[in-house]
Structure 1
Amino acid sequence: MAMSHEDMLKRARQLKKQKTSTPGASPSAPPPRIELHEETSEPDLKPLTQKFRARGKKVIETTSQHSTSQTQVAPLHTADDTELSFWHPQFLHSQHSRKHNYLRHDISLLRAQDLQTLHESLLADLHKAEASSLMLMDQFSLQSTQKSLDLEQKDQALILSKTETSRLTNEVTKLTNQVKRKDESLADLQNQLRTLEAEKESWTLKEKDLLHNSELLKDHIGYSLNMGFQLALEQV
Protein backbone atom coordinates (compact mmCIF):
# COMPACT_ATOMS: atom_id res chain seq x y z
CA MET A 1 0.00 0.00 0.00
CA ALA A 2 1.37 3.45 -0.99
CA MET A 3 2.29 5.99 1.66
CA SER A 4 0.15 9.07 2.06
CA HIS A 5 1.53 12.52 1.51
CA GLU A 6 1.63 13.29 5.26
CA ASP A 7 3.40 9.98 5.99
CA MET A 8 6.01 10.86 3.37
CA LEU A 9 6.64 14.25 4.97
CA LYS A 10 6.84 12.76 8.48
CA ARG A 11 9.23 10.05 7.28
CA ALA A 12 11.43 12.64 5.57
CA ARG A 13 11.57 14.81 8.73
CA GLN A 14 12.47 11.78 10.88
CA LEU A 15 15.27 10.76 8.53
CA LYS A 16 16.59 14.33 8.43
CA LYS A 17 16.51 14.53 12.25
CA GLN A 18 18.33 11.19 12.56
CA LYS A 19 20.96 12.35 10.08
CA THR A 20 21.68 15.56 12.00
CA SER A 21 21.59 13.96 15.48
CA THR A 22 23.92 10.94 14.77
CA PRO A 23 27.49 11.97 15.81
CA GLY A 24 29.39 9.03 14.37
CA ALA A 25 27.80 8.97 11.00
CA SER A 26 30.14 9.03 8.03
CA PRO A 27 29.92 12.17 5.93
CA SER A 28 30.32 10.15 2.77
CA ALA A 29 27.56 7.73 3.62
CA PRO A 30 24.49 8.17 1.39
CA PRO A 31 21.35 9.51 3.04
CA PRO A 32 18.67 7.04 4.02
CA ARG A 33 16.38 6.26 1.20
CA ILE A 34 12.66 6.43 1.45
CA GLU A 35 11.14 3.26 0.21
CA LEU A 36 8.22 4.15 -1.95
CA HIS A 37 6.17 1.59 -3.77
CA GLU A 38 5.72 2.44 -7.40
CA GLU A 39 2.13 1.65 -8.12
CA THR A 40 -0.12 2.71 -10.89
CA SER A 41 -2.93 3.64 -8.54
CA GLU A 42 -3.08 7.02 -6.83
CA PRO A 43 -2.07 7.29 -3.13
CA ASP A 44 -4.63 7.34 -0.40
CA LEU A 45 -5.44 11.03 -0.25
CA LYS A 46 -8.76 10.74 1.55
CA PRO A 47 -7.52 12.06 4.95
CA LEU A 48 -5.74 14.95 3.29
CA THR A 49 -8.78 15.73 1.17
CA GLN A 50 -11.01 15.71 4.24
CA LYS A 51 -8.57 18.06 5.98
CA PHE A 52 -8.55 20.46 3.03
CA ARG A 53 -12.33 20.33 2.86
CA ALA A 54 -12.67 21.17 6.56
CA ARG A 55 -10.18 24.03 6.18
CA GLY A 56 -11.94 25.28 3.06
CA LYS A 57 -15.29 25.13 4.87
CA LYS A 58 -13.93 27.37 7.66
CA VAL A 59 -12.54 29.83 5.13
CA ILE A 60 -15.85 29.82 3.30
CA GLU A 61 -17.81 30.52 6.49
CA THR A 62 -15.61 33.52 7.37
CA THR A 63 -15.39 35.04 3.88
CA SER A 64 -18.70 34.26 2.21
CA GLN A 65 -20.60 37.03 3.99
CA HIS A 66 -17.91 39.61 3.29
CA SER A 67 -17.52 38.67 -0.37
CA THR A 68 -21.25 38.63 -1.04
CA SER A 69 -21.94 41.90 0.79
CA GLN A 70 -19.11 43.95 -0.68
CA THR A 71 -19.07 43.23 -4.40
CA GLN A 72 -21.14 41.53 -7.04
CA VAL A 73 -18.88 38.88 -8.53
CA ALA A 74 -19.24 36.71 -11.60
CA PRO A 75 -22.24 34.36 -12.01
CA LEU A 76 -22.20 31.44 -9.56
CA HIS A 77 -22.68 28.85 -12.26
CA THR A 78 -21.09 28.15 -15.59
CA ALA A 79 -22.77 28.71 -18.93
CA ASP A 80 -24.25 25.22 -19.08
CA ASP A 81 -25.27 25.37 -15.35
CA THR A 82 -23.73 21.95 -14.66
CA GLU A 83 -21.07 22.84 -12.05
CA LEU A 84 -20.25 25.64 -9.68
CA SER A 85 -18.11 28.59 -10.65
CA PHE A 86 -14.71 29.37 -9.08
CA TRP A 87 -16.40 32.31 -7.37
CA HIS A 88 -19.00 30.18 -5.63
CA PRO A 89 -18.35 29.89 -1.86
CA GLN A 90 -18.97 26.13 -1.95
CA PHE A 91 -16.58 25.42 -4.82
CA LEU A 92 -14.08 22.68 -3.83
CA HIS A 93 -10.80 24.02 -5.18
CA SER A 94 -8.71 21.15 -3.81
CA GLN A 95 -10.95 18.48 -5.30
CA HIS A 96 -11.03 20.32 -8.61
CA SER A 97 -7.22 20.62 -8.68
CA ARG A 98 -6.76 16.91 -7.85
CA LYS A 99 -9.15 16.00 -10.62
CA HIS A 100 -7.81 18.25 -13.36
CA ASN A 101 -4.31 19.42 -12.34
CA TYR A 102 -2.86 16.38 -10.47
CA LEU A 103 -2.39 13.72 -13.12
CA ARG A 104 -1.32 10.11 -12.63
CA HIS A 105 2.17 10.51 -14.07
CA ASP A 106 2.74 13.60 -11.87
CA ILE A 107 3.01 11.26 -8.86
CA SER A 108 6.04 9.42 -10.27
CA LEU A 109 7.70 12.65 -11.38
CA LEU A 110 7.24 14.30 -8.00
CA ARG A 111 8.43 11.25 -6.05
CA ALA A 112 11.66 11.24 -8.04
CA GLN A 113 12.53 14.75 -6.88
CA ASP A 114 13.99 15.91 -3.61
CA LEU A 115 11.58 17.49 -1.12
CA GLN A 116 13.88 20.44 -0.52
CA THR A 117 14.12 21.03 -4.27
CA LEU A 118 10.35 20.88 -4.58
CA HIS A 119 10.02 23.28 -1.66
CA GLU A 120 12.45 25.76 -3.22
CA SER A 121 10.72 25.45 -6.59
CA LEU A 122 7.38 26.09 -4.95
CA LEU A 123 8.73 29.16 -3.17
CA ALA A 124 10.29 30.40 -6.41
CA ASP A 125 6.99 29.98 -8.22
CA LEU A 126 5.20 31.80 -5.41
CA HIS A 127 7.71 34.65 -5.58
CA LYS A 128 7.36 34.82 -9.34
CA ALA A 129 3.59 34.85 -9.06
CA GLU A 130 3.73 37.57 -6.40
CA ALA A 131 6.16 39.69 -8.41
CA SER A 132 4.10 39.17 -11.56
CA SER A 133 0.91 40.15 -9.74
CA LEU A 134 2.58 43.29 -8.38
CA MET A 135 3.89 44.16 -11.83
CA LEU A 136 0.45 43.62 -13.33
CA MET A 137 -1.14 45.73 -10.62
CA ASP A 138 1.40 48.50 -11.26
CA GLN A 139 0.65 48.38 -14.96
CA PHE A 140 -3.06 48.31 -14.24
CA SER A 141 -2.74 51.29 -11.89
CA LEU A 142 -0.66 53.17 -14.46
CA GLN A 143 -3.12 52.42 -17.23
CA SER A 144 -6.03 53.28 -14.95
CA THR A 145 -4.39 56.60 -14.01
CA GLN A 146 -3.63 57.35 -17.65
CA LYS A 147 -7.16 56.45 -18.60
CA SER A 148 -8.51 58.69 -15.86
CA LEU A 149 -6.34 61.55 -17.14
CA ASP A 150 -7.50 60.91 -20.69
CA LEU A 151 -11.11 60.88 -19.56
CA GLU A 152 -10.57 64.08 -17.59
CA GLN A 153 -9.01 65.75 -20.63
CA LYS A 154 -11.87 64.53 -22.80
CA ASP A 155 -14.38 65.84 -20.26
CA GLN A 156 -12.66 69.22 -20.21
CA ALA A 157 -12.55 69.27 -24.00
CA LEU A 158 -16.23 68.33 -24.07
CA ILE A 159 -17.07 71.13 -21.63
CA LEU A 160 -15.12 73.63 -23.74
CA SER A 161 -16.80 72.31 -26.87
CA LYS A 162 -20.24 72.67 -25.28
CA THR A 163 -19.39 76.20 -24.15
CA GLU A 164 -18.16 77.15 -27.62
CA THR A 165 -21.21 75.52 -29.20
CA SER A 166 -23.48 77.50 -26.87
CA ARG A 167 -21.66 80.74 -27.72
CA LEU A 168 -21.87 80.07 -31.45
CA THR A 169 -25.54 79.18 -31.10
CA ASN A 170 -26.20 82.50 -29.37
CA GLU A 171 -24.30 84.35 -32.09
CA VAL A 172 -26.21 82.53 -34.81
CA THR A 173 -29.47 83.41 -33.05
CA LYS A 174 -28.44 87.08 -32.87
CA LEU A 175 -27.40 87.12 -36.52
CA THR A 176 -30.61 85.38 -37.51
CA ASN A 177 -32.63 88.04 -35.69
CA GLN A 178 -30.57 90.79 -37.33
CA VAL A 179 -31.12 89.27 -40.76
CA LYS A 180 -34.84 89.01 -40.02
CA ARG A 181 -34.97 92.67 -39.04
CA LYS A 182 -32.97 93.62 -42.15
CA ASP A 183 -35.39 91.64 -44.30
CA GLU A 184 -38.32 93.44 -42.71
CA SER A 185 -36.61 96.81 -43.29
CA LEU A 186 -35.87 95.87 -46.88
CA ALA A 187 -39.49 94.89 -47.41
CA ASP A 188 -40.61 98.27 -46.02
CA LEU A 189 -38.18 100.11 -48.29
CA GLN A 190 -39.37 98.14 -51.29
CA ASN A 191 -42.98 99.06 -50.45
CA GLN A 192 -41.95 102.71 -50.13
CA LEU A 193 -40.11 102.51 -53.45
CA ARG A 194 -43.15 101.10 -55.18
CA THR A 195 -45.27 103.88 -53.65
CA LEU A 196 -42.79 106.51 -54.85
CA GLU A 197 -42.68 104.99 -58.32
CA ALA A 198 -46.48 105.15 -58.48
CA GLU A 199 -46.40 108.79 -57.36
CA LYS A 200 -43.67 109.53 -59.90
CA GLU A 201 -45.76 108.05 -62.66
CA SER A 202 -48.75 110.13 -61.50
CA TRP A 203 -46.67 113.32 -61.47
CA THR A 204 -45.30 112.46 -64.88
CA LEU A 205 -48.84 112.22 -66.26
CA LYS A 206 -49.76 115.51 -64.59
CA GLU A 207 -46.66 117.12 -66.07
CA LYS A 208 -47.65 115.95 -69.53
CA ASP A 209 -51.15 117.34 -69.02
CA LEU A 210 -49.76 120.67 -67.84
CA LEU A 211 -47.40 120.88 -70.81
CA HIS A 212 -50.21 120.10 -73.17
CA ASN A 213 -52.48 122.68 -71.54
CA SER A 214 -49.63 125.16 -71.60
CA GLU A 215 -49.20 124.68 -75.34
CA LEU A 216 -52.91 125.09 -75.88
CA LEU A 217 -52.91 128.23 -73.75
CA LYS A 218 -49.99 129.65 -75.72
CA ASP A 219 -51.76 128.98 -78.97
CA HIS A 220 -54.95 130.56 -77.66
CA ILE A 221 -53.08 133.62 -76.39
CA GLY A 222 -51.24 133.97 -79.69
CA TYR A 223 -54.43 133.66 -81.64
CA SER A 224 -56.15 136.21 -79.38
CA LEU A 225 -53.27 138.69 -79.78
CA ASN A 226 -53.26 138.23 -83.53
CA MET A 227 -57.01 138.82 -83.72
CA GLY A 228 -56.74 141.94 -81.53
CA PHE A 229 -53.91 143.33 -83.67
CA GLN A 230 -55.92 142.82 -86.85
CA LEU A 231 -58.97 144.54 -85.35
CA ALA A 232 -56.82 147.43 -84.30
CA LEU A 233 -55.45 147.81 -87.83
CA GLU A 234 -58.91 147.77 -89.34
CA GLN A 235 -60.09 150.56 -87.03
CA VAL A 236 -57.20 152.76 -88.04
Structure 2
Amino acid sequence: MAMSHEDMLKRARQLKKQKTITIGASPSSPPPHIEFHEETSEPDLEPLTRKFKSRGRKIVEATSQHSTSQIQLAPHILANLHKAEASSFMLMDQFTHLSTQKSLDLEQKEQSFVLSQTENSRLAAEVIELTTQVKKKDELLVDLNNQLKALEAEKQSWNLKEKNLLNSSELLKDQIGSSLNMGFQLALDQVRVLCSDADLSPADISKSVVNGELVETDD
Protein backbone atom coordinates (compact mmCIF):
# COMPACT_ATOMS: atom_id res chain seq x y z
CA MET A 1 0.00 0.00 0.00
CA ALA A 2 1.47 3.33 -0.99
CA MET A 3 1.80 6.13 1.68
CA SER A 4 0.61 9.56 0.85
CA HIS A 5 2.69 12.64 1.45
CA GLU A 6 0.55 13.57 4.48
CA ASP A 7 1.02 10.11 6.05
CA MET A 8 4.77 10.35 5.67
CA LEU A 9 4.80 13.76 7.42
CA LYS A 10 2.78 12.35 10.34
CA ARG A 11 5.20 9.44 10.67
CA ALA A 12 8.16 11.79 10.70
CA ARG A 13 6.59 13.91 13.47
CA GLN A 14 5.91 10.77 15.57
CA LEU A 15 9.51 9.65 15.22
CA LYS A 16 10.71 13.12 16.21
CA LYS A 17 8.51 13.05 19.36
CA GLN A 18 9.84 9.61 20.32
CA LYS A 19 13.40 10.89 20.03
CA THR A 20 12.59 13.92 22.25
CA ILE A 21 10.87 11.83 24.99
CA THR A 22 13.57 9.12 25.06
CA ILE A 23 15.70 9.39 28.28
CA GLY A 24 19.41 8.71 28.19
CA ALA A 25 19.67 8.74 24.45
CA SER A 26 23.02 9.98 23.23
CA PRO A 27 22.73 13.61 22.13
CA SER A 28 25.50 13.03 19.64
CA SER A 29 23.52 10.38 17.75
CA PRO A 30 22.31 11.84 14.51
CA PRO A 31 18.59 11.83 13.94
CA PRO A 32 17.32 9.27 11.53
CA HIS A 33 17.40 10.55 8.05
CA ILE A 34 14.13 10.17 6.33
CA GLU A 35 13.79 11.13 2.80
CA PHE A 36 10.45 12.28 1.67
CA HIS A 37 9.45 11.51 -1.80
CA GLU A 38 6.32 12.28 -3.50
CA GLU A 39 6.41 8.86 -5.01
CA THR A 40 3.44 6.69 -4.50
CA SER A 41 5.60 3.63 -3.65
CA GLU A 42 5.66 2.43 0.05
CA PRO A 43 9.04 3.06 1.85
CA ASP A 44 10.96 0.27 3.61
CA LEU A 45 10.50 0.98 7.38
CA GLU A 46 11.95 -2.26 8.78
CA PRO A 47 15.58 -1.03 9.20
CA LEU A 48 14.33 2.09 10.93
CA THR A 49 12.12 0.02 13.24
CA ARG A 50 15.00 -2.30 14.17
CA LYS A 51 17.21 0.70 14.89
CA PHE A 52 14.69 2.31 17.23
CA LYS A 53 13.99 -1.00 19.00
CA SER A 54 17.71 -1.51 19.63
CA ARG A 55 18.07 2.03 20.92
CA GLY A 56 15.01 1.59 23.18
CA ARG A 57 16.48 -1.59 24.69
CA LYS A 58 19.73 0.25 25.45
CA ILE A 59 17.81 3.07 27.11
CA VAL A 60 15.78 0.60 29.22
CA GLU A 61 18.94 -1.28 30.27
CA ALA A 62 20.75 1.95 31.19
CA THR A 63 17.75 3.17 33.17
CA SER A 64 17.47 -0.19 34.95
CA GLN A 65 21.17 -0.20 35.86
CA HIS A 66 20.95 3.40 37.13
CA SER A 67 17.89 2.56 39.26
CA THR A 68 19.61 -0.55 40.63
CA SER A 69 22.74 1.42 41.57
CA GLN A 70 20.55 4.06 43.25
CA ILE A 71 18.75 1.34 45.23
CA GLN A 72 22.09 -0.19 46.26
CA LEU A 73 23.54 3.18 47.26
CA ALA A 74 20.41 4.35 49.11
CA PRO A 75 21.04 2.47 52.44
CA HIS A 76 24.63 3.73 52.60
CA ILE A 77 23.50 7.29 51.89
CA LEU A 78 20.70 7.03 54.44
CA ALA A 79 23.14 5.70 57.05
CA ASN A 80 25.49 8.61 56.40
CA LEU A 81 22.56 11.01 56.56
CA HIS A 82 21.49 9.52 59.91
CA LYS A 83 25.05 9.82 61.22
CA ALA A 84 25.27 13.40 60.04
CA GLU A 85 21.89 14.18 61.60
CA ALA A 86 22.95 12.56 64.91
CA SER A 87 26.22 14.48 64.82
CA SER A 88 24.29 17.68 64.15
CA PHE A 89 21.96 17.03 67.10
CA MET A 90 24.94 16.22 69.33
CA LEU A 91 26.73 19.39 68.25
CA MET A 92 23.56 21.42 68.80
CA ASP A 93 23.18 19.92 72.29
CA GLN A 94 26.82 20.70 73.07
CA PHE A 95 26.42 24.21 71.70
CA THR A 96 23.23 24.72 73.74
CA HIS A 97 24.94 23.38 76.88
CA LEU A 98 27.99 25.58 76.34
CA SER A 99 25.80 28.59 75.61
CA THR A 100 23.76 27.97 78.77
CA GLN A 101 26.90 27.45 80.85
CA LYS A 102 28.46 30.57 79.39
CA SER A 103 25.31 32.55 80.12
CA LEU A 104 25.29 31.27 83.71
CA ASP A 105 28.98 32.08 84.13
CA LEU A 106 28.43 35.53 82.67
CA GLU A 107 25.45 36.10 84.98
CA GLN A 108 27.48 34.98 88.00
CA LYS A 109 30.34 37.26 86.97
CA GLU A 110 27.92 40.16 86.56
CA GLN A 111 26.44 39.47 90.01
CA SER A 112 29.94 39.24 91.50
CA PHE A 113 30.86 42.48 89.74
CA VAL A 114 27.76 44.23 91.11
CA LEU A 115 28.51 42.91 94.62
CA SER A 116 32.12 44.03 94.28
CA GLN A 117 31.02 47.49 93.19
CA THR A 118 28.60 47.68 96.13
CA GLU A 119 31.30 46.54 98.55
CA ASN A 120 33.79 48.99 97.04
CA SER A 121 31.27 51.81 97.40
CA ARG A 122 30.64 50.85 101.03
CA LEU A 123 34.36 50.63 101.77
CA ALA A 124 34.95 53.95 100.00
CA ALA A 125 32.23 55.56 102.15
CA GLU A 126 33.78 54.05 105.28
CA VAL A 127 37.22 55.30 104.25
CA ILE A 128 35.82 58.79 103.71
CA GLU A 129 34.07 58.68 107.09
CA LEU A 130 37.19 57.38 108.83
CA THR A 131 39.29 60.04 107.09
CA THR A 132 36.89 62.71 108.33
CA GLN A 133 37.01 61.29 111.85
CA VAL A 134 40.81 61.13 111.77
CA LYS A 135 40.92 64.72 110.56
CA LYS A 136 38.63 65.78 113.40
CA LYS A 137 40.75 63.80 115.88
CA ASP A 138 43.88 65.46 114.55
CA GLU A 139 42.29 68.88 114.91
CA LEU A 140 41.18 68.00 118.45
CA LEU A 141 44.66 66.71 119.26
CA VAL A 142 46.20 69.94 117.98
CA ASP A 143 43.72 71.92 120.08
CA LEU A 144 44.52 69.81 123.15
CA ASN A 145 48.25 70.26 122.55
CA ASN A 146 47.74 74.01 122.35
CA GLN A 147 45.70 73.92 125.55
CA LEU A 148 48.39 71.79 127.21
CA LYS A 149 51.05 74.25 126.19
CA ALA A 150 48.94 77.10 127.55
CA LEU A 151 48.39 75.20 130.81
CA GLU A 152 52.10 74.44 131.09
CA ALA A 153 52.88 78.11 130.58
CA GLU A 154 50.25 79.00 133.16
CA LYS A 155 51.67 76.38 135.52
CA GLN A 156 55.12 77.86 135.17
CA SER A 157 53.63 81.25 135.89
CA TRP A 158 51.88 79.92 139.01
CA ASN A 159 55.05 78.14 140.09
CA LEU A 160 56.91 81.40 139.78
CA LYS A 161 54.20 83.19 141.72
CA GLU A 162 54.28 80.46 144.38
CA LYS A 163 58.02 80.78 144.65
CA ASN A 164 57.70 84.52 144.99
CA LEU A 165 55.00 84.09 147.63
CA LEU A 166 57.13 81.61 149.53
CA ASN A 167 60.01 84.01 149.45
CA SER A 168 57.71 86.78 150.58
CA SER A 169 56.37 84.50 153.32
CA GLU A 170 59.87 83.80 154.57
CA LEU A 171 60.62 87.49 154.55
CA LEU A 172 57.42 88.16 156.45
CA LYS A 173 58.30 85.46 158.95
CA ASP A 174 61.70 86.97 159.44
CA GLN A 175 60.18 90.39 159.79
CA ILE A 176 57.59 89.11 162.25
CA GLY A 177 60.28 87.27 164.20
CA SER A 178 62.41 90.37 164.31
CA SER A 179 59.43 92.45 165.39
CA LEU A 180 58.60 89.95 168.15
CA ASN A 181 62.19 89.86 169.36
CA MET A 182 62.29 93.60 169.33
CA GLY A 183 59.04 93.84 171.27
CA PHE A 184 60.19 91.16 173.71
CA GLN A 185 63.40 93.03 174.36
CA LEU A 186 61.46 96.25 174.85
CA ALA A 187 59.22 94.46 177.35
CA LEU A 188 62.23 93.10 179.24
CA ASP A 189 63.75 96.56 179.35
CA GLN A 190 60.58 97.91 180.86
CA VAL A 191 60.50 95.10 183.47
CA ARG A 192 64.12 95.83 184.42
CA VAL A 193 63.20 99.42 184.98
CA LEU A 194 60.18 98.57 187.02
CA CYS A 195 61.75 95.64 188.91
CA SER A 196 65.44 96.22 189.02
CA ASP A 197 65.95 93.37 191.49
CA ALA A 198 64.16 90.79 189.34
CA ASP A 199 66.21 88.02 187.65
CA LEU A 200 65.20 88.08 183.99
CA SER A 201 67.80 85.61 182.71
CA PRO A 202 65.33 82.69 182.35
CA ALA A 203 63.10 84.85 180.13
CA ASP A 204 63.05 83.69 176.50
CA ILE A 205 60.76 84.59 173.64
CA SER A 206 60.51 80.94 172.64
CA LYS A 207 59.08 79.91 176.05
CA SER A 208 55.49 79.90 177.19
CA VAL A 209 54.01 80.28 180.68
CA VAL A 210 52.39 77.02 181.78
CA ASN A 211 51.05 76.69 185.35
CA GLY A 212 53.16 79.62 186.53
CA GLU A 213 56.35 78.26 184.99
CA LEU A 214 58.30 78.97 181.81
CA VAL A 215 58.16 75.98 179.47
CA GLU A 216 59.92 75.44 176.14
CA THR A 217 57.43 75.63 173.29
CA ASP A 218 57.74 73.13 170.45
CA ASP A 219 57.95 74.64 166.98
Please indicate the TM-score interval, normalised by the length of the shorter structure.
0.5 to 0.7
Shift, 1:120, TM fit: 4.5
Match of 1:37 in 2: none
- Counting only pairs closer than 5 Å after superposition, residues 70-81 of structure 1 correspond to structure 2 as none
Q: Residue 199 and residue 213 in structure 1: after superposition, are their counterparts in 2 closer, same or farther (change >3 A)?
A: same
Partner amino acid, structure 2, of 1:180: S
The answer as to 2:14 corresponding to 1:47 is: yes
Match of 1:102 in 2: 27
Shift, 1:160, TM fit: 1.7
Q: Distance in 1 between matches of 2:90 and 2:64?
A: 38
Partner amino acid, structure 2, of 1:102: P
Shift, 1:46, TM fit: 3.9
Structure 2 gap ranges (5+): 1-10, 33-50, 179-219
Partner amino acid, structure 1, of 2:115: K
Q: 1:162 aligns with which of 100, 103, 106?
A: 103
Q: Residue 105 and residue 126 in structure 1: after superposition, are their counterparts in 2 closer, same or farther (change >3 A)?
A: farther
Match of 1:208 in 2: 149
The answer as to 2:139 corresponding to 1:172 is: no
The answer as to 2:133 corresponding to 1:192 is: yes
Q: Deviations over 1:132-183 (max 9, x none)?
A: 3443333223212211220121012111211221122112211211111111
Partner amino acid, structure 2, of 1:47: Q
Match of 1:72 in 2: none
Partner amino acid, structure 1, of 2:141: K
Q: Distance in 2 between matches of 1:146 and 1:45?
A: 57
- TM-score, with length taken from structure 1: 0.52
Q: Distance in 1 between matches of 2:31 and 2:117?
A: 83
Q: Distance in 1 between matches of 2:156 and 2:109?
A: 68
Q: Distance in 1 between matches of 2:114 and 2:159?
A: 66
- Counting only pairs closer than 5 Å after superposition, residues 124-135 of structure 1 correspond to structure 2 as 124-135=65-76
- Which protein is bigger by CA-based radius of gyration? 2
Q: Distance in 1 between matches of 2:16 and 2:72?
A: 30
Q: Deviations over 1:5-60 (max 9, x none)?
A: xxxxxxxxxxxxxxxxxxxxxxxxxxxxxxxxxxxxxxx774266479xxxxxxxx
Match of 1:144 in 2: 85
Q: Residue 119 and residue 104 in structure 1: after superposition, are their counterparts in 2 closer, same or farther (change >3 A)?
A: closer
Match of 2:167 in 1: 226
Q: Distance in 2 between matches of 1:207 and 1:45?
A: 137
Structure 1 gap ranges (5+): 1-43, 53-92
Q: Distance in 2 between matches of 1:45 and 1:209?
A: 140
Which secondary structure does the structure 1 equivalent of 2:83 belong to?
helix
Shift, 1:125, TM fit: 2.5
Shift, 1:199, TM fit: 0.1
Which secondary structure does the structure 2 equivalent of 1:104 belong to?
coil
Shift, 1:131, TM fit: 2.5
Q: Distance in 1 between matches of 2:94 and 2:141?
A: 68
RMSD: 3.5
Shift, 1:209, TM fit: 0.4
Q: Distance in 1 between matches of 2:13 and 2:87?
A: 51
